[in-house]
Amino acid sequence: MTMRAPALKAREGAGCRHIAFHPSKPLAYLANELDSTITTYAWDSEKGVLTPLQIVPAAPQDFTGDNTAAGIATSSDGRFLYVSNRGHDSIAISAIGAENGLLKSDSWTSTQGKQPRFFALSPTGDHLYAANENSDTIVDLAIDRISGRLTPTAQIIRTGSPTCIVFRHA
C-alpha cells in the first residue's frame, strides 16, 4: 500500500507562496501571492490536514495598485504575523488572537525600497530585515515587542538584488 502525501487545496487563483506555523498552537498561516491574501488554517499534524479558518487581505483595503504577497513569518512568541507585499512595498503586521489564533490586520510599514521579495526576523526577534529586490537594499526595521510594530532604524545595506537572508548561529 502506498501512502499519499498530505495536500492542500487552496482557493482558485490564490497562488500559495509561503507558509508559517504558529510556534505553540496547531495553526498555520499561508501567504497567497496572486490574490494578495493571508489564510489562517487549523493544523491537524496527525492527519496532515489544513482546514481554512479565515482569509484577510495582505495589503491595505484602500490600496488600488498591483500587489503580490511574498514572505511570511510569525514572531517567536506567537503574538504577531508579518507578510511582505510587493507592489505596496510594505510589511503587513497582524496581531494573532491569543485564544483562537485568528488575525487582526493591524498596520503596514514601508520597506523603504521596491519589491520586498523576502524578509527575515533576527534570531533575537527584535529586528526585521527586508530584502528589497528591485532597489538593491536590505533595510533594518526594529520590532516593538509589545505592539509588533516596525520602525526603520536608518540602517540600510546596499547589495545587488537581495532575495534571501540567512542568519548564521554561533
pLDDT tens digit at each of 170 positions of the chain: 555 566 677 888 898 899 999 999 999 999 999 999 999 999 998 888 999 999 999 999 999 999 999 999 999 999 999 999 999 999 999 999 999 999 998 899 999 999 999 999 999 999 999 999 999 999 999 999 999 999 999 999 999 999 999 998 76
**138, 132 Cβ separation under 8 angstroms:** yes
Predicted pLDDT of residue 2: 56
Counted domains in the chain: 1
Cα–Cα distance list, 50 to 3, 17, 40, 69, 75 (Å): 18, 15, 9, 20, 21
Predicted pLDDT of residue 119: 98
pTM (2 d.p.): 0.94
Predicted pLDDT of residue 168: 85
The answer to whether residue 78 is domain-embedded is yes
Rounding to the nearest 10 degrees, give the CA dihedral for residues 144, 147, 148, 151.
Answer: -50
The answer to whether residue 3 is domain-embedded is no
The answer to whether residue 165 is domain-embedded is no
The answer to whether residue 142 is domain-embedded is yes
CATH code, domain carrying 151: 2.130.10.10
The answer to whether residue 63 is domain-embedded is yes
The answer to whether residue 108 is domain-embedded is yes
The answer to whether residue 5 is domain-embedded is no
Pairing of strands 90-96, 103-110: antiparallel
The answer to whether residue 61 is domain-embedded is yes
Q: Which domain holds residue 66?
A: 16-158
Predicted pLDDT of residue 5: 62
